[in-house]
Amino acid sequence: MLAYVEALWAEAAEPSADPQMQRLLQKLLRQQTVAPDGVPPAPPVSALRFRNKVSRMLRMLYATKLLPRRLAGRTVPANAIYLNMGQLGLAMRSFFEWFAKRPDIMRAMMLHDAIPIDYPHLVGEKAPGYHRQMIRTAADHADCLIFNSAYTRDSVTAVIRDLGQNCPPALVQALPVPTAFLDVEPPAAAFAGIRYFLAVSTIEPRKNYGLLLAVWKRLIAAMGSDAPHLIIVGAPGSGAEGILAPLETDPALAERVHHVAGLSSPSLSTLVLGAAGMLCPSLAEGFGLPLLEANALGVPTIASDIPAHREVATAATVLLPADDTAGWADAITAVPERGVRSPPHIPFAMTEAAYCAAILDFVCGIQSGRA
């Protein structure tokens, strides 16, 4: 199992050893005909469909030699706590049939959002059904729920009530700043003098990249070669090909807008630290992790004025309507030059250790109440 996961893992690569980071730097420096030593051409990155995600999950599950329905009921210790922090598996009802034979198990589950149900026009045709099944599974089996924001709690609770059930005890706990952001490597010297903004998320319609591309066309028309760069970091999702199509047909836009996927966490944290600003134009979110990460590093943030972003925003965050092209262009232009930015101290309360402690305190408290 560990060998299989290790073969997939690229999270720990330092920026200087991350081929995707090096390709990005190459493009920013406009040296597209000369590849860095030892770095092959970037392979195409395709969207990871739902069936591909399930297939990968099943392969990893098989590698553990544990099959939920056959072995979990016999191998899980008495009075254990079952903690599910990833909601994808909740759509597979058969994974949880063993709970019926193990009432001693305390079950805690995290739900990240209700976006496919509340905004079906922003997702694929089958996504609302899958998502409703996830929430139904949690409502049927969980002794307690964990949410990433008050907005997620409220929207998921509304779905649970529509299903004719009551929401179990719940904890709202904001996501932590990832460990890679606690000890950030400053950008390489080659980045000096390159003014760029970041947008970090899966490439899909609800992330509202169309707004940013329209903004950059406006900036290029007004500023020419002085327009800043926009770096889009994220794996292609449903509809990504159409969203990114202008980069194939508009040479001027392609010179200033760059898409990269597969960055390691250290590379991403380095990019965030060196950015002029973080842009979060999403139409709907359950939480705003890129906004949180940028705020933690003292990077200016501009975000769409939606409930999840309001919970994460600081007093310095600029919140704008998600369709205000002129307003976004003006706000981006107004961001001052960054100069040299040093990694700030991240309070313990925002770390993964504090987050895990809060989760464990909550679920252990629920467990104690069942005794």
pLDDT by position in tens, the chain (length 371): 555 444 455 667 888 888 888 888 888 886 333 344 444 444 444 444 555 656 666 666 666 555 555 566 678 899 999 999 988 689 998 889 999 999 999 999 999 999 999 999 999 899 999 999 999 999 999 999 999 999 999 999 999 999 999 999 999 999 999 999 999 988 888 888 899 999 999 999 999 999 999 999 999 999 999 999 999 999 999 899 999 999 999 999 999 999 999 999 999 999 999 999 999 999 999 999 999 999 999 999 999 999 999 999 999 999 999 999 999 999 999 999 877 788 899 999 999 999 999 999 999 999 998 76
Query: How many other C-beta atoms lie within 10 A of the C-beta of residue 21?
Result: 26
| Contacts of 325 by beta carbon, 8 Å cutoff, 6+ apart | 211, 214, 215, 218
Contact 346, 330 (CB under 8 A): no
Identify whether the C-beta of residue 138 lies closer than 8 Å to the C-beta of residue 109.
yes
- Domains in the chain (CATH in brackets) are 75-176+352-370 (3.40.50.2000), 179-334 (3.40.50.2000)
Taking the C-alpha atoms of residue 363 and residue 47, their distance in angstroms, rounded to an integer, is: 35
pLDDT one-digit tens code per residue, 239-298: 999 999 999 999 999 999 999 999 999 999 999 999 999 999 999 999 999 999 999 999
Distance separating alpha carbons of residues 347 and 56, to the nearest angstrom:
36
